[in-house]
Structure 1
Amino acid sequence: MPTAILTQPGLHVRLTSQRLEVHGPHPETGEETLLRPIPLHDLERIVAGEDVHFTSPALAELLRRGIPIQIFSWEGRFLGGFLPALQPAGRTRLRQYQRILDPDFTLTVARRIVAAKLYNQRRVLQRLLANRTAAGSDDPALDNVRQTLDQLEQLFPPIRQSRSLDELRGFEGLATARYFQAWATFLPAEFPFERRSTRPPHNPVNACISFAATLLYSEATAFCHAHGLDPALGTLHLPDDGRWSLALDLIEPFRPALVEALALDLFSHKILNHSHFENRDGGCFLNPDGRRKFFLQYERRMEREFLSETVGHRTTLRQQLENQATLFKTALENPDAFEPFLIN
């Protein structure tokens, strides 16, 4: 069990020997009872709601074992993380600061990130199109998907030859807009998707995309910290107050493989329906029951093993996300070492 998800209100987490014990109200009697033990030896992270209580010994043991906690508010907003003490990485940070000020380095790395994202967007559409075609569909909208694939293919040369970050971001925005237009073709009719909307998301599809991206972003931020990197200093995303730009960079190629693919599965397989969403604060958001289902599917996808043609062995999306932080750190000395994540 790499991740423990604790979102039920009123839970108390205590340390007993080599395990955590989660106490809370019994579903039928309401009396305080032991709901589940969690062995620490196979725990890698905890996702917790803001009203879950941890004892000091439990927190201390999690720190000792290097197990982070991600904390979410009752409405599903990521509040922050509880991270183990970090080892000083002055030399790595100094080199990163120097590299981020080097326009050749930032443009080289950013080009690779955008090219990898475009490659993964095309692979997702190709797979969806192949599955729909194999099922015998004669939907005329599939012709638009084929046209989009050709259009995306034509964007590789200008992306790889971009002369500035602004020019590169323009091509990235164009590719993503075309991709989402084609991707929406495969959604069930009861969950339309006209455009990408954030802060707030305006419909259930956007709500799922935003929530998955938030989870991925928080994990990438933690991996950057763990490997001595400053997650605020990115290449494609300019450093700015209030965001972890490097974490945003590293998750870009994972968006098609995880964020959008997961959202599509949730609706296509009827895991989520309209009862799992609520309208508030001018937007549409997952409700508590929807978030519980979402967390479960997110974890399954992040921990599912697959044989990667790029790395040549079995791995998981979570392992590959951490590997991106490792590769970026290596690229501070050897930019050619940075190879963004690619779908098979």
Structure 2
Amino acid sequence: MKKLLNTLYITNENAYLSLKGETVVVEIGETKIGQFPLLNFEEIVCFSYRGATPQLLGKCAMMGIGVSFYSPFGKFLFRVSNNENGNVLLRRKQYRIADDDKQCSSIVKNFIVGKIYNSRWVLDRTLRDHSLRVDGEKIRKAKSLLDKRIKQIMETDSVEVIRGLEGEAAQVYFDCFDELILNQKKDFRFQGRNRRPPEDNINAMLSFGYSLLSNECVNGLQSVGLDPFVGFLHKDRPGRKSLALDLMEELRPLLVDRFVLTLINNRQIKSEDFVRSESNSVEFTEKGRKLFLTEWQNHKKEEITHPYLKEKIQWGIVPYVQALLLARFIRDDIDGYPPFLWR
């Protein structure tokens, strides 16, 4: 359970919600683990199949409190809200911003600064912890270039220029990625990012991880009423969840790249967990996919302190919190969108 920005997050998959007076009661089995006044909340987000009583859902609808349900693995199931919910106004403003390059740039700038900052952190962490096992000069040079790109992005208001600088920063970062692989170098050598299809074990892991993270961002955006298909950085394209791709940019280095490196360097995943298909793409074996997903779920349960909110949350809640912060900014509840800057 977690209370953030007037939102109650229920992360225990065995939790059951019920109504008592003007409060929501959270129970696991026969044990009550929490009871909160409904007046404190604008939203309840529940990662449990056990659900809630109709009485609670009806009360929340009457009070204008949205209730979103997800599977324990983060798949969006459904959302209950009343007919007066303000999401239509939020989405209309989202669409207006998407059509205005200047307004887009203020949000896009923070997305990409967050991504580059966190990419730099990943490089710095390896340099700090394993300085004798890596090419320190190469990594320090890359960090300096990333700092320069951040400064350039902060000085421009053009989304197109930001796209170009982000591409250059990504190239600098991935040019160093092989240095971050400390064990199993023969089976997990990184020679550049490739996709559709991935051509080696690491790219197969990265692509799969990014797909999982994208789904988490879609779910987070849906829970706050934003349209995941209309973005500010990624252009509209049929079927493309552009805003989810925008939101995940700053989270890629931390939630996926660092996770993939940990699995490899700790020898939790091995070359036999992959297979090359007839089309020459590299894919997980059934055992490898299960291992990845199991560790992914375990990683999402690890607690951290959110750098902006200064509250303890699980890693898996980060995309939902960032979606909520983005919605708050679009509604003018806060002055700017605060990217997730890990320290």
1:86-133 residue CA offsets vs partner (Å, 9 max, x unmatched): 665211111211221222110111011111111111111111100002
Q: Contact 1:224 / 1:247 at 8 angstroms: preserved in 2?
A: yes
Distance in 2, Cα, partners of 1:182 & 1:206: 15
**TM-score normalised to structure 1 length:** 0.76
Q: Which ranges in structure 1 are unaligned for 5 or more consecutive residues? A: 5-17, 19-37, 47-57, 72-79
Distance in 2, Cα, partners of 1:200 & 1:2: 34
Letter in 2 for 1:148: A
Counterparts of 1:17-36 in structure 2 under 5 Å?
none
Counterparts of 1:151-170 in structure 2 under 5 Å?
151-170=145-164
CA RMSD of superposed structures (Å): 3.1
Counterparts of 1:282-297 in structure 2 under 5 Å?
282-297=280-295
- Per the alignment, do residues 3 and 295 of structure 1 end up closer, same or farther by CA in structure 2, a change over 3 Å counting? farther
Distance in 1, Cα, partners of 2:169 & 2:244: 21
Q: Which ranges in structure 2 are unaligned for 5 or more consecutive residues? A: 1-9, 17-27, 34-44, 58-66
Query: What is aligned with 2:178?
Result: 184
Query: What is aligned with 2:168?
Result: 174
Letter in 2 for 1:175: A
Q: Contact 2:177 / 2:190 at 8 angstroms: preserved in 1?
A: no
Matched, 1:337 2:297: no
Distance in 2, Cα, partners of 1:111 & 1:236: 9
Query: What is aligned with 2:69?
Result: 67
Q: 1:253 aligns with which of 250, 254, 265?
A: 250
**What SS class does the counterpart of residue 69 from structure 2 fall into?**
coil
Aligned pairs, how many? 293
Query: What is aligned with 1:49?
Result: none
1:52-102 residue CA offsets vs partner (Å, 9 max, x unmatched): xxxxxx79989988433499xxxxxxxx85434566521111121122122
Counterparts of 1:160-309 in structure 2 under 5 Å?
160-187=154-181, 188=183, 189-190=185-186, 191-280=188-277, 281-309=279-307
Letter in 1 for 2:158: S
Query: What is aligned with 1:314?
Result: 312
Distance in 2, Cα, partners of 1:172 & 1:62: 47
Distance in 1, Cα, partners of 2:328 & 2:308: 17
Distance in 2, Cα, partners of 1:83 & 1:200: 32
Query: What is aligned with 2:104?
Result: 106
Letter in 1 for 2:259: L
**What SS class does the counterpart of residue 130 from structure 2 fall into?**
helix
Shift of 1:270: 0.6
**TM-score normalised to structure 2 length:** 0.76
- Per the alignment, do residues 322 and 231 of structure 1 end up closer, same or farther by CA in structure 2, a change over 3 Å counting? same
Letter in 2 for 1:185: E
Letter in 1 for 2:78: L
Deviation larger for 294-303 or 330-339:
330-339
Distance in 1, Cα, partners of 2:104 & 2:95: 11
- Per the alignment, do residues 295 and 62 of structure 1 end up closer, same or farther by CA in structure 2, a change over 3 Å counting? farther
